[in-house]
């Protein structure tokens, strides 16, 4: 890792926590993204209900999954599920700006679930949430990797890109986390 990349990574870590603490604990206790609309998107906002965090890309063969993610959001949000889209160019298939991504998602898929600004999900520039998940053995290998957090913010399950939002196993995992709230 280059010194500059390492220093940029260290700057993203929570200041009051030792490096070893990054791999433990619940996600909502420490991770904030920048919202696609501007301002913070703090995972603590969603504490108490399950959260499905999905790294997305507008120019991917799995982009049609936005439709299914929106349907999940509409079906389960009254019961406490939050879907969070995390646009990322880590796999070189995302538009160049958050404004373009937001417009694309709204126009083509009527997306209204929370979305973050563009972030890296792999490599030395990865957002701290993804560093935390990787330390637990959960790392996206491609766009539309789904990480399901339980009501306590712990990883309940994860699903690779080919698993669609309609998949019975994904829905069963969501139902199980909803029962645990």
For residue range 115-137, what is the model confidence (pLDDT) as tens digits?
999 999 999 999 999 999 999 89
Percent of the chain that is helix, strand, coil (3-state, to 5): 40, 20, 45
Task: Give catalytic residue positions.
Answer: 60
Q: How much is the mean pLDDT over the chain?
A: 86
pLDDT in tens, 87-113: 999 999 999 999 999 999 999 999 999
* CA distance linking residue 42 with residue 35, whole number of Å: 9
Residue (of 151, 153, 159) closest to 175 by Cα position:
151
To which residue do tokens 């696609």 refer? 36
The pLDDT value given to residue 162: 96
Q: Tell me if 114 sits within 8 A of 41, measured CB to CB.
A: yes
5-9, 36-40, 125-129, 151-155: which has the minimum mean pLDDT? 5-9
The pLDDT value given to residue 116: 96
Which class is domain 3-14+26-179? Answer: alpha beta
Which tokens sit at 41? Answer: 């998107």
């Amino acid at each position: 890792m280059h010194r500059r990349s390492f220093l940029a990574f260290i700057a993203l870590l929570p200041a009051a926590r030792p490096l070893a603490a990054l791999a433990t604990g619940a996600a909502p206790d420490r991770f904030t993204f920048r919202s696609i609309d501007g301002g913070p998107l703090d995972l603590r906002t969603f504490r108490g209900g399950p959260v499905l965090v999905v790294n997305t890309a507008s120019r991917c063969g799995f982009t049609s999954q936005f439709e299914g993610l929106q349907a999940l959001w509409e079906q389960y949000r009254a019961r406490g599920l939050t879907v969070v889209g995390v646009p990322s160019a880590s796999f070189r298939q995302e538009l160049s700006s958050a404004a373009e991504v937001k417009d694309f998602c709204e126009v083509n898929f009527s997306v209204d679930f929370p979305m973050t600004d563009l972030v890296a999900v792999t490599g030395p520039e990865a957002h701290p949430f993804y560093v935390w998940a990787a330390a637990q053995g959960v790392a996206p290998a491609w766009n539309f990797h789904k990480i399901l957090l339980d009501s306590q913010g712990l990883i309940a399950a994860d699903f690779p890109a080919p698993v669609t939002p309609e998949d019975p196993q994904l829905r069963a995992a969501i139902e199980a986390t909803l029962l645990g709230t």
